[in-house]
A and B are shown apart, each in its own frame.
Chain A
């Protein structure tokens, strides 16, 4: 079945540091890939997405590139802020009659001033 694996956290960084959160997936066909973010006390929000190989999703300074050859969708940001502290979920969505999401277990990011 489909699965998503992302690096375990927490990831602890100082403000303005470079961020990478690794995500790899297993799925048949050509899934769409997503990063969701969950800020403390809030619901899941879509951060960015990519729907085909070599697509780059970007939003709020975050980027991720759909790499089919390595089945990866790593999340990056050049300079993190304290306000980026949250839990980040990598997910895939594969149409198979319907489009349920398969999530990774989440990576907590803690950014200190």
Chain B
């Protein structure tokens, strides 16, 4: 079946503008994660969704970042008033369940965000 898809693949925006990044998880996967891959910072966890439960937002770097997941499937990560330090590759992953520590996460190709 189809893997995790993300759109757009590339996004260039001007400082101060808002952006929305989309993630379509693998069908049937209940858990969805957003990570950020920055030069020099590696991969950082941002936010986690499990089904229709309240998300864990503990990794979000500031209140300019928010995310929602509609109907337990598609997720949108929104960055308001973008700053140059937001430039990174934003990765989405999904997994079937969070029943244990071995639930494999499947990653999308990422969205490369460049803030000018």
Contacts and interface: CB of A to CB of B under 8 A. Distances in A.
Interface stretch (B11-19, B40-48, B60-68, B71-79): B40-48
A103 B36 CA distance: 11
Interface size bucket, A side? Answer: 20 to 34
B91 A46 contact: no
Interface in B50-104: 50, 56, 59, 91, 93, 95, 98, 100-104
A85 interface: no
A82 B5 CA distance: 28
Contact of B33 (A97, A100, A104): A100
Interface of A: 30-32, 36, 42-46, 49, 51, 89, 91, 93-95, 97-106
27 contacts: A30-B101, A31-B101, A36-B107, A43-B91, A43-B108, A43-B109, A45-B107, A46-B105, A51-B102, A91-B43, A93-B102, A93-B103, A95-B98, A95-B100, A98-B31, A98-B50, A98-B56, A99-B98, A99-B100, A99-B105, A100-B45, A101-B43, A101-B45, A101-B105, A102-B45, A103-B42, A103-B44
